[in-house]
Structure 1
């Protein structure tokens, strides 16, 4: 059985996002990568994509939650697992997010626990 390493409970979320790669020096690569978010917590998210992303790379993204509010975040890819048909499952940690957006996730979690 796998050891749970997540710091916060993750909630199921079914949204599509676009990732914009951030390179060294904060330079943004204007290449949008589409991904399907599967779960979300205040510290990170899981998502699938048919693009191969390297662990340790950073991306700027906007995530629309159930209230239709948008969370702006910078993520770091911390885990990658290749699935079938060239689909990759990723784990990402939030490394840049406002406290207001973090609170939106907390509120989202409260509503989903009831």
Structure 2
């Protein structure tokens, strides 16, 4: 299978919470927040796992903390969902990520490759 990614992924271990997923017509507010385990990140987006089923082409807000005082807030769109044992594996893309913020991810990738 041909690789379609534009940006390389690097491991990124973090736990985040989502309290709302939305699109232009609908907002799905959960009665409790959904915890996600982030597995990787690239300049284009990130992958995560969770036991909750989330809809494709919906958005959520996230704070991305890459350490060393490099963090930013972003909107992500869920573009891929695959069932796995005990939940789902998701892929999402950053929407409207400023170039300066993608530099944070490049710096993070360089740090990961050095270690």
TM-score, normalization by structure 1: 0.83
Q: Secondary structure at the match of 2:64?
A: strand
Counterpart of 1:18? 17
Aligned equivalents of 2:72 and 2:48: distance in 1?
Answer: 15
Counterpart of 1:103? 103
Equivalent residue pairs, number: 111
Aligned equivalents of 1:17 and 1:100: distance in 2?
Answer: 23
Counterpart of 2:39? 38
8 Å contact from structure 1 (residues 22, 60) kept in 2: no
Measured on the aligned residues, the alpha-carbon RMSD in Å equals: 2.0
1:51 aligns with 2:37: no
CA deviations 1:66-114 (Å, max 9, x no partner) are: 33532211111111001112x1100111113233321110111122222
Deviation at 1:33, TM superposition (A): 2.2
Distance 1:11 1:90, change over 3 A: same
